[in-house]
């Protein structure tokens, strides 16, 4: 009956990013400009066109890799999918329960304990308090932090910190998972355990969108790819095809 739900559907998405300079930030300058009939002006707000006419859709089971140079618009596209940026024009339809692991270090409160940071991070990612409490023992167990879990995270080493965040984020159940580079743990002895957990985390999601500079990573996790170049969609489809084209304009 053709009832395959398009879970992600982007139609002609454009995003212009306003560059708010210091002058444009001041209301005083605005008033001055209006009062002098524009004689003294702070200058117009320039806009950067970050994405142009992006259209594609994804269904359950799709693992999409975003490929492109720095500044091609990969992260911007992820942020649009995450709902952080609202597109300037175009339509976007996306099913609920998107989890983005774009920046892992945000919202870490150095004075709060490990447990408190798990709670606040979980809440910010959209979990309910009950759900967090249920997952808490498993998360704590995975971090291998022992008694440190009740100490302020400012005393943690960077490895301990990553373990804490990684364990929390990867305990989520996401329908749609967005990643800017694969989340890693850095700790060699921890690596095998972490990569198993990461794979399970990705398996659980119905759709994955992953931006990466690493061809190996994309080939590993993705079954589709999208090539971006200066805000334009160059190709959407097969992974091999994308890398062939990508190598051509390197």
Partner 1 sequence: MNAYNSFISALASYEIWLYLAWQDIRLRYRLSKIGPFWITLSMAVFCLSLGVIYSEIFNAKTEEYLPYVSIGIVLWNFISGSLNEFPNAYVDNSVYLKEIKINPLIILLRVLARHAIIFFHNFLIVFVIYAYFGINPGLVVLLALPALILVVINLFFIGVVLSILGARFRDISQMSQSVVQLFFFVTPIIWHQRLVSEDSLILVLNPFSYFIDILRSPLLGELPKIESWLVVITLLLFNAIFAKLVFQSRAGRITFWV
Of 76, 66, 56, the C-alpha closest to 15 is: 76
Angle at the Cα of 243 from the Cα atoms of 194 and 221, rounded to 5 degrees: 20
For partner 1, the closer of residues 107 and 186 by Cβ is 107
**Residue 212: CB minimum distance to partner 1, A:** 18
For partner 1, the closer of residues 95 and 220 by Cβ is 95
For partner 1, the closer of residues 66 and 118 by Cβ is 118
CA 54 from centre of chain: 18
- Is 136 a residue that touches partner 1 (CB under 8 A)? no
For partner 1, the closer of residues 108 and 245 by Cβ is 108
Q: How far apart are CA 30 and CA 43, in angstroms?
A: 10
- Is 109 a residue that touches partner 1 (CB under 8 A)? yes
DSSP H or E segment with residue 184 = none
- Which residue from 35, 84, 93, 191 is in contact with partner 1, where contact means CB under 8 A? 84
Number of residues that bind partner 1 (CB under 8 A): 30
Total Cβ atoms within 10 A of residue 37: 8
The dihedrals phi and psi of 248, each to the nearest 5 degrees, come to -60, -45
For partner 1, the closer of residues 100 and 212 by Cβ is 100
Per the CB < 8 A criterion, the answer to whether 90 and 10 are in contact is: yes
- Is 21 a residue that touches partner 1 (CB under 8 A)? no
Per the CB < 8 A criterion, the answer to whether 51 and 14 are in contact is: yes
- Is 116 a residue that touches partner 1 (CB under 8 A)? yes
- Which residue from 97, 120, 217, 220 is in contact with partner 1, where contact means CB under 8 A? 120
**Residue 241: CB minimum distance to partner 1, A:** 32
């Amino acid at each position: 009956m053709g009832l395959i739900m398009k879970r992600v559907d982007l139609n002609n998405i454009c995003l212009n990013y306003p560059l708010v300079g210091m002058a444009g930030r001041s209301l005083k300058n605005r008033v001055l400009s209006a009062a002098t009939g524009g004689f003294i002006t702070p200058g117009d707000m320039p806009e950067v066109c970050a994405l142009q006419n992006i259209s594609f859709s994804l269904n359950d089971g799709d693992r999409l890799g975003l490929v492109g140079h720095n500044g091609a618009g990969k992260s911007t596209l992820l942020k649009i999918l995450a709902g952080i940026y609202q597109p300037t024009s175009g339509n976007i339809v996306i099913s609920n329960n998107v989890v983005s692991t774009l920046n892992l270090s945000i919202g870490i409160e150095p004075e709060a304990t490990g447990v408190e940071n798990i709670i606040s991070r979980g809440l910010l990612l959209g979990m309910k308090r009950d759900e967090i409490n249920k997952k808490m023992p498993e998360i704590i167990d995975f971090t291998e932090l022992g008694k440190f879990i009740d100490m302020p995270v400012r005393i943690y080493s960077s490895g301990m910190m990553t373990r804490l965040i990684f364990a929390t984020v990867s305990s989520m159940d996401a329908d749609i998972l967005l990643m800017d580079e694969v989340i890693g743990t850095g700790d060699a002895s921890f690596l095998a355990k972490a990569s198993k957990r990461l794979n399970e985390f990705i398996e659980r999601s119905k759709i994955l969108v992953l931006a990466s500079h690493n061809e190996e990573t994309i080939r590993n996790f993705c079954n589709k790819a999208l090539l971006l170049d200066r805000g334009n969609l160059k190709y959407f489809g097969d992974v091999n095809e994308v890398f062939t084209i990508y190598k051509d304009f390197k």
